[in-house]
Amino acid sequence: MKILVTGGTGYIGSHTVVELQHAGFDVVIVDALFNSKEEVVDNIAKITGIRPEFEVFDLTDRAKTDDFFRRHQDLVGIIHFAAHKAVGDSVQHPIKYYRNNLDSLMNILEGMTTYGIPNLVFSSSCTVYGQADQLPVSESAPIKKAESPYGNTKQIAEEIISDTVHVNNIRAIALRYFNPIGAHDSGLIGELPNGVPDNLLPYITQTAYGIREQLKVFGDDYNTPDGTPIRDYIHVVDLAKAHVKAVQRMTDNTMKQAFEVFNLGTGNGYSVLEVIKAFERATGMTINYKIVGRREGDIEQIWADPSYSNAELGWKAERTLDEMVASAWKWEQHYRKE
């Protein structure tokens, strides 16, 4: 069974390709290499012993996307990771985000309907919940007004998919990721942030490596036990495995509705200072950090209720925070040496 993985040389996509191959799926990757490198394909092949098919083009190009589907009518499903994802950049360049994230999705949905490809897994985000009123947050929690154009593309994308499955007999699963961190145990694939990282873990590992001088902790005056914000960090390999379960739910015909939504989190919340302490514990290093003012747009705390995905997908995040940070550090060192 062949799966198209869009954005498959990216951070979460590459880990998912590995898990799909381990589970016996054939994979074709499409990536425009906007935020990833071709060498990732070599490293996937080093891990699994199987080189996935790979095509480089921009999925917002309607003609090229149609041509791809015309040549790959044997696909049983698509996992659509390809998107721009930098929240701050999306505020500066909203049209870039709406065009890339939504045009690519619509081209894919069009291809699915034209060529009869039945199954779609879509990368959504816990950002759709905003600051949830109740914690842990379950899938039925209300969708809050998006805080950024990026977040809005995820909300709109879910609506586009929901509208499309009713019309065209497509089945789709949206997976709402909490905060993916960490890297493959091999140290061969991991997160490759462009320039100065926005996200906490790459900033910590780059500070530990000496690329950044000091980590800024954005606020310690939140209403949380140590005053720093709380997130549900999830190991990227656990996250990748959930995608295999979602694909299997579709191919096994066990979906309850044509469009389903699942939270992908651990159910545990950790503060920024707890993550720093876990990194120091796991590596024996000391992180140079200072507390600064809050970052605009940050929410105070969120963590998932993963009980619905645990029950329905037969999946549970297994890896601890210490394993997450240790693997992120292994990846940073491996990548810098290379």
List contacts with ligand NAD (CB under 6 A).
7, 9-13, 30-36, 58-60, 81-85, 100, 104, 123, 125, 177, 180
Contact 241, 323 (CB under 8 A): no
- Between CA 95 and CA 93 the distance in angstroms is 6
**Closer residue to ligand WQD (CB): 85 or 319:** 85
Give me the least distance between CB of 271 and ligand NAD, in Å please. Answer: 18
Among the listed residues 80, 84, 184, 231, the single contact to ligand WQD using CB under 6 A: 231
Q: Which partner in ligand NAD, ligand WQD, none is near 86 (CB below 5 to 8 A by kind)?
A: none
CA 256 and chain centroid, separation: 24
Is 272 near ligand WQD (CB under 6 A)? Answer: yes
Site for ligand WQD in 103-132 (CB under 6 A): 125, 127
Site for ligand WQD in 182-201 (CB under 6 A): 198-200
Among the listed residues 43, 60, 179, 327, the single contact to ligand WQD using CB under 6 A: 179
Is 155 near ligand WQD (CB under 6 A)? Answer: no
Residue 131 sits at the vertex; the CA angle it makes with 130 and 134, to the nearest 5 degrees, is: 120
Instruction: Look at phi and psi of residue 254 and say left if phi exceeds 0, alpha if psi is from -120 to 50, else beta.
Output: alpha
Q: For residues 199, 264, 333 and 83, what is the CA-based torsion angle, rounded to 10 degrees?
A: -60
Which of 97, 150, 203, 270 is flagged as catalytic? 150
The residue type found at 136 is P
150 included as an active-site residue:
yes
**Closer residue to ligand NAD (CB): 21 or 36:** 36
**Closer residue to ligand WQD (CB): 21 or 301:** 301
147: exposed, middle or buried (C-beta count within 10 Å: 0-12, 13-18, 19+)?
middle
Site for ligand WQD in 11-70 (CB under 6 A): none
Evaluate the omega torsion of the peptide bond into residue 118 and state whether it is cis, within 30 degrees of 0.
no
The residue type found at 184 is H
Phi, psi of 282 (to 5 degrees): -75, -25
- Between CA 190 and CA 297 the distance in angstroms is 26
Q: Which residue is nearest to ligand WQD (CB)?
A: 125
**Closer residue to ligand WQD (CB): 35 or 65:** 35
Q: Which partner in ligand WQD, ligand NAD, none is near 283 (CB below 5 to 8 A by kind)?
A: none
- Between CA 238 and CA 22 the distance in angstroms is 14
Q: What are the structure tokens assigned to 194, written together?
A: 């462009």
**Closer residue to ligand NAD (CB): 13 or 136:** 13
Applying CB under 6 A, which residues contact ligand WQD?
Answer: 85, 87, 125, 127, 179, 198-200, 203, 215-218, 229, 231, 272, 295, 298
Among all residues, which ones are annotated catalytic?
Answer: 150
